[in-house]
Amino acid sequence: MASTGEWFETVAEAQRRARRRLPKSVYMALVAGSERGITTEDNVAAFSELGFRPRIADLPQERSQTTTVMGQEIAFPVVISPTGVQAVDPEGEVAVARAAAGAGTAMGLSSFASRAVEDVAAANDKLFFQMYWVGTRERILQRAERAKAAGAKGLIVTLDWSFANGRDWGSPMIPEKLDLKAMLRFAPEGVLRPRYLAGWLKHGKLPDLTTPNLAAPGEPAPTFFGAYGEWMGTPLPTWEDIAWLRQEWGGPFAVKGITHPDDARRAVDAGATAISVSNHGGNNLDGTPAAIRLLPAVVDAVGDQVEVLMDGGIRRGGDVVKALALGARAVLIGRAYLWGMAANGEAGVANVLQILRQGIDSALLGLGRSSIHELSRDDLVIPPDFTRSWKG
Ligand SMILES: Cc1cc2nc3c(=O)[nH]c(=O)nc-3n(C[C@H](O)[C@H](O)[C@H](O)COP(=O)(O)O)c2cc1C
């Protein structure tokens, strides 16, 4: 566990520490976003527009947060969203998996992750494996089957990616691999962040920037860019492809990246168990409204047929409660846990999860609700046109 001095009380503080500790290029890779950053900003800002309607007496002594997502029982309605980041911490996704398991919740593992699905599943058996549509049907199935054999309980297919890569604030330079040339180029950043560098050297390695879960059987893991190239060269999937994969997989199946209610219906038709209303944390098509604005129309369209999750902009427990009041079953978090991991490794991820859980509890108490399942739109003050006239 962290010493008391390492403890932080908000996600904003975790982000400040992450900024101080990480080399600039790694920090910027987590900030991410695309184009002008309109969507990334709105994802967070929109939560501030929603108000609460608190109560002050006859409040519930006990508050319950347990629920299930894709068949997995979780202690509170926050799940780790899959993120493909390579260089934040030497333990990487295994540390995240341990922290999530310790907190009693589930994790999505990116196929672009730095640690093998077998190692991550050993640390948290409530694991969902996330895939993009990369390569042939045969290769896609091989990867899914490997994840299943490792113990993954569900499959998440992320569909919202349009290969936009420009950012007005600049993209970090990411080397193809950390060879001598790249190390010399990045050396000044390492020198400026000695603690980060020491963490890696203690593990006897530097980030290797490979994607072990995308390796073909018997082949070495491709580099991040090698895998990205394969993805760019893959014909784009149809709903028929998605229905095929869902059929082959057989178990709980989620489609991540839904914004349009019609796509939500198509995902249901394809047999999805869950969908996540998401704009990829603002990393996809800039100008898409905040995910929380798009949630109500999707809930109205398919909320009784599929588990509706959402992700994007969650930074505190109150945000989670707002999303649940608007109809989400649970939320996924991305940057919040990445800041925690950058600030203090596994303990930092646990710290973030605890902040969210306590924040949910406080909001339930303030609203006079004894369970997350009692939350409804009546708990919120929703300004006119919060949803930007987004229609089902
Ligand atoms: C650095 C970074 C890498 C990501 N990589 C993936 C990925 O590999 N697969 C995926 O489905 N989503 C990925 N996402 C999107 C997240 O799963 C999630 O949708 C998003 O971060 C939610 O927004 P938030 O960061 O505001 O919580 C990534 C997001 C970030 C910030």
pLDDT tens profile 51-109: 999 999 999 999 999 999 999 999 999 999 999 876 788 899 999 999 999 999 999 99
**In angstroms, what is the span from residue 281 Cα to ligand 1's centroid?**
6
Active site residues: 280
Token pair belonging to 116: 């093998």
At 390 the pLDDT is 80
Q: 83: annotated binding-site residue?
A: yes
> pLDDT value at position 1?
46
What residue has token string 């919060």? Answer: 386
Cα–Cα distance measured from residue 318 to residue 363, given in angstroms and rounded to the nearest whole number: 6
Q: What pLDDT is stored for residue 86 in this prediction? A: 65
Q: How many residues does the chain have?
A: 392
Centroid of ligand 1 to alpha carbon of 315 (angstroms): 14
- With the most atoms of ligand 1 within 8 angstroms of its CB, the residue from 30, 47, 79, 81 to mutate is 81
Identity of the highest mean pLDDT range in 21-35, 223-237, 323-337: 323-337
Q: Is the pLDDT of residue 4 over 50?
A: yes
Q: Counting beta carbons within 10 angstroms of the beta carbon of residue 118, is it exposed (0 to 12), middle (13 to 18) or buried (19 or more)? A: middle
Q: Specify the residue with its C-alpha closest to ligand 1, atom 1.
A: 30
d(CA 314, CA 392): 24
The pLDDT mean for the chain works out to 94
Computed over its alpha carbons, how large is the radius of gyration of the chain?
Answer: 20
The top-level CATH class assigned to 4-381 is alpha beta
Q: How far is the CA of 218 from the centre of ligand 1 (A)?
A: 29
**Residue 315 known to bind ligand:** yes
Atom nearest to 112 CA in ligand 1? 8
Residue 82 assigned as binding residue: yes
Ligand 1 contacts (CB < 6 A) are: 29-30, 32, 43, 81-85, 110, 112, 130, 158, 256, 278, 280-281, 283, 311-314, 333-336
**Residues 259, 260, 265, CA angle at the centre, nearest 5°?**
115
Tell me how far the alpha carbon of residue 56 lies from the centroid of ligand 1, in angstroms.
37
pLDDT at position 136 is 97
Would you list the domain boundaries of the chain? 4-381
pLDDT range class, residue 183, cuts 50, 70, 90: low
Nearest CA to ligand 1 atom 7: 83
